[in-house]
Amino acid sequence: MLPDYRSIALLVHAGAGSGLGGRVAAQVAQGIHAVFADAKLEIIETRSKEHIKEFGRTTEADLIVCLSGDGSLHDIAQSLVRRAEGERPTLVPIPAGSGNDYARTLGLPLDPLKAAVALAECRPFKVDVGCVNSTFFLETLSFGMDAAVAIKTEELRLATKARGFLLYTHAAIDAIIHDFAAHKATVRMDDREFSCDTIIFAVQNGPTYGGGYQVAPHASIVDGMLDVYIITGVNRPAAIYYLTQIKTGKHERLKGVSYHKTSHLQLEFAEQVPAQCDGEQLLGLTFDISVLPGALDVLAVPSAYVR
């Protein structure tokens, strides 16, 4: 049963999805009101990343409905995770961005109007959050070619207004052509240390990135663990095939793919590599990575990833 929320904030990123967020905001608000008829609903249009973070620090709403893409969810999580458990609002996304991977993980429809209606099916969960150095991530952290793809995705989104799978695939081909490289990494995980020349190094809290690429098909956001995929020994022509297999979660059987499950790892690179956290670019050579079990309250449709 849904909690009896008295105060709801609809946080709208009007520019998300090339303006989709702004176009559907009024209809989404109507859908929320239909589900939570007795709650006070306030609509707030985001102005900047800092505005989102400040709102997350100070809001007294019981429930935050975030009509946005994964970037705004990442931003507000930086504040919500730091709040005391009893003072922490519940978060739920209404997907309106280019990737919407966290909405997928929570089992919500990718059509924002259908997602608003689906709030009636949601239930509250305490879910895990990843942490890299001092930054939290909800879904994905990666290094190497897949991070280069994520960074390229944002550049192409701004230039082309494209969204979703086609946008990520365009970015992937561009990154393979221009940014393909193996990166030497030292990994400390589960009381062992090893080195590798990695093409893709993905640390997942949730199962997908890039608008539905199933890089970690076994991942759960309530198991207190991170799913780590390392791909080595792949040349440029093979990389395109590997990406097609990642799209459907069939890459585990391929040569050079290793899978690990851990709650903590340390990663060090010899030189700066492409790195991203929920689509946000990261800089640095050394990364301390861990999981915070049950650190965020969300609404989700009960599914294979929330169990």
Query: What structural domains does the chain harbor?
Result: 7-121 (3.40.50.10330), 137-293 (2.60.200.40)
pTM of the model: 0.92
Long-range contacts of 220-224 (CB under 8 A, 24+ apart): 220/305, 220/306, 220/307, 221/105, 221/127, 221/128, 221/305, 221/306, 222/125, 222/126, 222/127, 222/128, 222/294, 222/306, 222/307, 223/128, 224/128, 224/263, 224/291, 224/293, 224/294
Between the two ends of the chain, the Cα-to-Cα distance in Å is: 16
Q: What is the CA 173 to chain-centroid distance, rounded?
A: 21
Task: Region of 51 please: left (phi>0), alpha (psi -120 to 50) or beta.
Answer: alpha
Alpha helices in 130-270 (DSSP H): 145-160, 164-179, 236-247
Statement: residue 307 has pLDDT above 70: no
Statement: residue 164 has pLDDT above 70: no
Tell me the pLDDT band of 159, cut-offs 50, 70 and 90: low
Which of 15-29, 35-49, 145-159, 183-197 shows the lowest per-residue confidence on average (mean pLDDT)?
A: 145-159
Q: What is the pLDDT of residue 177?
A: 82
Tell me the pLDDT band of 284, cut-offs 50, 70 and 90: very high
| 204 vs 181, residue with greater confidence | 204
Statement: residue 220 has pLDDT above 80: yes
pLDDT digits (tens, 9 = 90+) for 29-82: 999 999 999 999 999 999 899 999 999 999 999 999 999 999 999 999 999 999
Distance from C-alpha of 70 to C-alpha of 76, rounded to nearest angstrom: 10
Distance from C-alpha of 119 to C-alpha of 101, rounded to nearest angstrom: 17
Query: What's the chain's Rg over C-alpha atoms?
Result: 19
